[in-house]
Amino acid sequence: MATVAVPKVHKNFINGEWVEAKTGRAFEDRNPAHPAELIGIFPASSQEDVDEAVDAAQEAFKKWRLVPAPRRAEILYRVAETLVKRKEELARDMTREMGKPLSEARGDIQEAIDMTYYMAGEGRRLFGQTVPSELPNKFAMSVREPLGVVGMITPWNFPMAIPSWKMMPALVCGNTLVIKPAEDTPLCTHNLVQILTEAGLPTGAVNVVNGMGPEAGAPVVSHPGVSAVSFTGSTETGRLVNQACASSFKPCHLEMGGKNIILVMDDANLDLAVEGAVWGGFGTTGQRCTAASRVAVHKKVYGEFLDRFTARVKALHVGDGLDPETEMGPLINETQLQTVMRYVQIGRDEGAKLVTGGHRYESGPLAEGWYHEPTIFSDVAPNMRIAQEEIFGPVVALIPFDTVEEALEIANGVTYGLSASVYTRNVNLAYRAMRDLEAGIVYVNAPTIGAEIQLPFGGKKATGNGHREAGTAAIDFYSEWKTLYIDYSDRLQRAQIDSADLG
């Protein structure tokens, strides 16, 4: 008789120890491909747990900020080395917990590896400025200082990459952390923090509080001992985070929704554009803030593109992400599945043409999981809700256009501004699109997904509040400037007053 594995009971990580939540309550973490499979049980935390975590982070900050940045970076380097060694097992955990195909999970881990190596390198930079003083015998420079305790709220769609985007630059700058991971994917954060601990991160520098947003996330954001907050999630929740931080003038980084577009011009390489639209629209089951949920196609090639795109999408292999043949996995949970189904009905009601898909899998081996068919709507008007609102699922709206001006108007005619793409062989048109598209990230002859960690990541309008993840832009958020003047003239010198006399 087969034995059933007992699910692992996990804990919060506070002040270097794995501890139970004060509430005594817990929640289940299940495999979206097979919801009957219980991945683990995690604590449902509250304000009291957050208080302990912030206290530990504040105490650790006193010492961590004084550790030379190159020494902090050496710890991150060891973390990256361990991530490389454990990449496959970490990826399999991620696929079981989040549902994305194993190849994508490996990419998620690789992004964490890349970010960790990159920020380890920043430990020997963290550049300031030295500038000439306007007065003689006076030295002027600026240096970066850490903020203190940073609160982090992370999403489930990139459950190791996004925590690494936030944690690694914050740590190398000398901050300490309290992170509340998404309740759908807490195991990935658990694994990352375990590796940080093994690498020698001091006690209390990183603290993990698991739980739901209102009970565990909101107290992190509003805690007076938290000096700054970094949030990735929906625009609606981001607005609440922003409001909670505003009353105390707390720095706040928001990375929120997107309604991204691929523009296919009449001179585009259609084979390349189709592959880009498939990957952009259905990679991670459309559950990316950068997903290409809109594809606007020039009317001269609209019919041909639609035929090729439809054939490719109908051929997608949908299934368990651990199956090497799988190209698209399940949605994260039943709630998200119901959201996608609701938007499909909205599209039908609005008069868009359902070309393929449109249903959850209700029979066969996929019926037990949270699977939805890859779905295409054609002849979509730009003002339809399915072309305006973020669906976060495998639904792509095709929109025809006549002119470049119309294409740009369609692209910019949404509340979001994260990522956009244009397929064209016309260099003049490509540069015009790069200039005029209202997006924080623009691709030419590539889909709307695929950002690299060495450049800023983020968007405009309702997508963000001006800050950026990744690259040196992340360092800008997780540190603040201190300007230093050293006068060695041995006399009083008055800037702007005495300097005028020197002329």
Catalytic entry in 97, 104, 111, 255 = 255
CA–CA gap between residue 305 and residue 301 (Å, rounded): 6
The percentage of the chain sitting over the pLDDT mark of 70, rounded to a whole number, equals 98
Radius of gyration of the chain (CA): 25
Q: What are phi and psi of 85, to 5 degrees?
A: -65, -35
CA distance 181 to 202: 21
Non-local CB neighbours of 19 within 8 Å, separated by 6+ positions: 11, 12, 13
Q: What is the pLDDT of residues 26-54, one digit of tens each?
A: 999 999 999 999 999 999 999 999 999 99
Known active-site residue 255: yes
Q: Which CATH architecture has domain 8-256+464-483?
A: 3-Layer(aba) Sandwich (3.40)
Closest CA to 185 of 336, 79, 296, 325: 336
> How confident is the model over 286-298, as a mean pLDDT?
97
Tokens representing 403 are 């002119």
* Architecture of the structural domain at 261-444: 3-Layer(aba) Sandwich (3.40)
Q: What is the pLDDT of residues 57-115, one digit of tens each?
A: 999 999 999 999 999 999 999 999 999 999 999 999 999 999 999 999 999 999 999 99
Q: How many CA atoms lie within 13 A of 80 on its CB side?
A: 20
Mean pLDDT of the chain: 96
Using CA of residue 353, residue 313, residue 36, residue 106, what is the dihedral sign?
A: negative
Residue 400: phi, psi to the nearest 5? -80, 150
pLDDT of residue 501: 66
Residue 2 confidence (pLDDT) above 90 = no
First to last CA, the chain: 94
Residue 496: per-residue pLDDT: 86
**Annotated catalytic, 173?**
no
Q: What is the side-by-side strand order in the sheet with 375-378? A: 353-356, 375-378, 395-401, 294-298, 261-264, 419-423, 441-444
Among 188, 252, 289, 390, which one carries the catalytic annotation? 289
Q: What is the pTM of this model?
A: 0.95
Q: Where in the chain is the domain with CATH 3.40.309.10?
A: 261-444
Q: Which two tokens stand for residue 51?
A: 């208080």
Select from 425, 409, 452, 108 the least CA-distant residue to 261: 409
Question: What value does the mean pLDDT take over residues 283-294?
Answer: 97
Domain with CATH 3.40.605.10 in the chain: 8-256+464-483
pLDDT average, residue stretch 254-271: 97
At 483, phi and psi to the nearest 5?
-100, 135
Number of H helices, E strands in the chain: 15, 22
The predicted-structure confidence for 154-212, as pLDDT tens digits, reads as follows: 999 999 999 999 999 999 999 999 999 999 999 999 999 999 999 999 999 999 999 99
